[in-house]
Structure 1
Amino acid sequence: MEYFLAVVIVVGVIIFLKFGIRRITILEYEKGLKYVKGKFKSTVEPGQYWYTPYFTIIQKLDVRPRFVSITGQEVLSADGVTLKISIAANFEINDPNVAINKVKNFQEALYLELQLALREIIGTVDIDSVLSGRNELSKKLMGVTEPKVTELGLRLISVNLKDIMFPGKLKEIFAQVVNAKKEGLAALEKARGETAALRNLANAAKMIEGNPNLMQLRLVQAFGNSSGNTLILGMPSEAVTVPIFKGSASKEHTGKARE
């Protein structure tokens, strides 16, 4: 009798361990996929749950945002230039049921959608637009890809054109163009400065022509900053000799000069 009870207890323990209730904890950054007899039933939110493993399986899924980088994609611009462009994207799983059960590999599918959209966009613009409008192209890439990515159960957070690389000869050409632009800007700025100086001289000449005494006053101001010089100012009936001593307090030396 005791032997029979022991066997019953052992069998009961085995049955409980195999078919009994188990506990699972889904963390804050996770979601659970609940399957009953192999069929998807629901998405389980973070928390602690009890389930029967004989009938039910709960699969954990990390739903934190993920960063992906697609490097060195060769694309052809509208003017026939081959470029290598790298893309940086940030996304998260929005619908675990679709991302896991409807798509075999959602990350590979995302790569493909980004690559196709990039080729489509770059193929409609020339190389100058690619260089000057990188931010606009990133926004356009986001707008084209986002609806298709949503169908994969994902949410696209951001997409950016990270690096744009040109063929070797084209790099040299663009370097020459950049240098030429800088030299042109420097020459233009120099010409503007010379034009402003000539304009100031012309204005000064007009002022002196209207009032000749301004020239004498300007000469006095110029020689006033020097030492040991004598300035003779012509007057209608006589000339006045003014010795200028820098820093000297004596300013009473005057004399008459012959006309």
Structure 2
Amino acid sequence: MTVPGESPASLSTAVRATDLRKTYGSGETAVHALAGVDVAFEQGAFTAIMGPSGSGKSTLMHCLAGLDAATSGQVWLGDTELTSLRDEQLTKLRRERIGFVFQSFNLLPVLNAQENMLLPMQLAGQRPDRAWMDSVIARLGLRDRLQHRPYELSGGQQQRVAVARALLPRPDVVFADEPTGNLDSHAGAEVLGLLRSSVRETCQTVVMVTHDPVAAAYADRVVLLADGHLAGEVNQPTTDSIINALRGLGA
């Protein structure tokens, strides 16, 4: 029996969507970015979302993360239903329970690396766990870059700061939107390895949108979308198995 207000999902599910729909516009010009998606993401796993351009993968991530409101359906973060929350409740939830890593880094140029890392926690009125912070900084190799401002850092270093910012609050889920899109192959592999190790070593849950089969191969599972619908998945993916799956979607 499901207790009112609790998610019917299993305790091992970090985030899930039920009959999720997102429509832009109306009438004949309506675009159905999501057309009834049912999907769940396990705690302590690294999942990639992939699909052809226009498949709805970024829209799905934005709805799962509470950045965009669904037209209908439900999104659960653990035992909290996001789709029933007011704007101020969503803002608080994102600050306290969700981490974000974006393609464009989104670091404030007037703040140094450490200040950028701590900003979301400060806005939420939280203090970092010093031992955890030291561990994250050491794993990301940022010890000698803490006082540097973004313009003094390479692209890879800036993205590592963004990863640290996402991990420090120990969020329920880290959502990564094309996190290697602005990086060269070496820096991209470095960032993906860090996300992978955060899953393996600290049981962090990571959900990543990417168009790159090499990046997606770092994940435990790849969820495929096409035309706003769930179109299958690849477990224990390799670059070749992902390419074959995407080829089957016409990507």
The answer to whether the superposition gives a TM-score over 0.5 is no
Q: Specify which structure has the bigger relative contact order, considering alpha-carbon pairs within 8 angstroms and separated by 6 or more residues.
A: 2
Q: Considering fraction of residues, name the structure with more strand.
A: 1
What TM-score do the two structures reach when normalised by structure 2? Answer: 0.23
The structure that has the greater radius of gyration is 1
Normalising to structure 1: TM-score of the pair?
A: 0.22
